[in-house]
Amino acid sequence: MHFPSKYLDIFKKYNLEKFQKLIAHLGIKDGLIGFQCLVKDNDIIPFDPTYRIDGSLVYHFIENQNNSNAVEMLIRKSITGSMGNDEEISKKETPYFKNPCIELPILLKKGTITKIVGLEEIKNMKDVIYVFQKYKEGKTFTKEVDFSQISFRILLSGKDDKKLQEDIDKIYSILKVYDENGNNMVSENLYRIV
């Protein structure tokens, strides 16, 4: 996932109003809502809405870029009934991030995780915002490649897409997840920023 979306201007110009009407029609006043969408010409077609904290951990990007913590706002909402001062929140929030961001999922191949190498070095990289580790040593995967085997989500923000691509390539060169036979379980780096 790349943020901000290359379709952001198309969304705002041709689609924002219909999404605002949909959200209002549903009675949603607060919270986090997201849509995975298909894009055809200037039409953005939602197919997978979320009304929750997104599994892609996008709220870390929002905090990094807008200095706005969505988790704190949701906790505040559950305790006080308000996410905070709407005017102050809207001053901070912008989808036009100052730096591009990437959510990089790391998929593992078949095997049993016996040793993870390079994770601390990756966490200390300048452009790494957050690293989520889903599985640890001892976890066995029985499928050659499967979405359920995404074992790390690495969130990055860099000065431009070229720098982010360099970071991605470096992450893939550093991270090694060895199976019981000493083979690296990390799937090949196919990620290229367009």
List pLDDT tens digits, range 175-194.
999 999 999 999 988 888 86
The pLDDT assigned to 53 comes to 84
The pLDDT assigned to 127 comes to 97
Residues 71 and 151 in one domain: no
Instruction: Judge whether 32 lies within some domain.
Output: yes
Residues 105 and 86 in one domain: no
Q: Model's pTM, two decimal places? A: 0.87
* Total domains present in the chain: 2
Mean pLDDT across 118-124:
97
Cβ–Cβ under 8 Å, residues 164 and 171 = no
Q: Which residues contact 10 (CB under 8 A, 6 or more apart)?
A: 39, 42, 44
Instruction: Judge whether 194 lies within some domain.
Output: no
Boundary of a domain, candidates 25, 57, 92: 92
Instruction: Judge whether 184 lies within some domain.
Output: no
Least confident of 81-90, 150-159, 168-177: 81-90
Confidence tier at 24 by pLDDT (50, 70, 90):
very high
Residues 88 and 107 in one domain: no
The pLDDT assigned to 12 comes to 95
Boundary of a domain, candidates 50, 68, 92: 92
Residues 86 and 116 in one domain: no
Mean pLDDT across 104-127:
97
Cβ–Cβ under 8 Å, residues 19 and 8 = no
Confidence tier at 55 by pLDDT (50, 70, 90):
confident
Range(s) of the domain holding residue 42:
2-92
Residues 67 and 19 in one domain: yes
Per-chain mean pLDDT for the chain? 92
Identity of residue 179: D
User: Which segments of the chain does DSSP mark as H helices, in order?
Assistant: 8-10, 16-25, 59-66, 70-80, 86-92, 119-123, 161-174
The pLDDT assigned to 194 comes to 62
The pLDDT assigned to 146 comes to 85
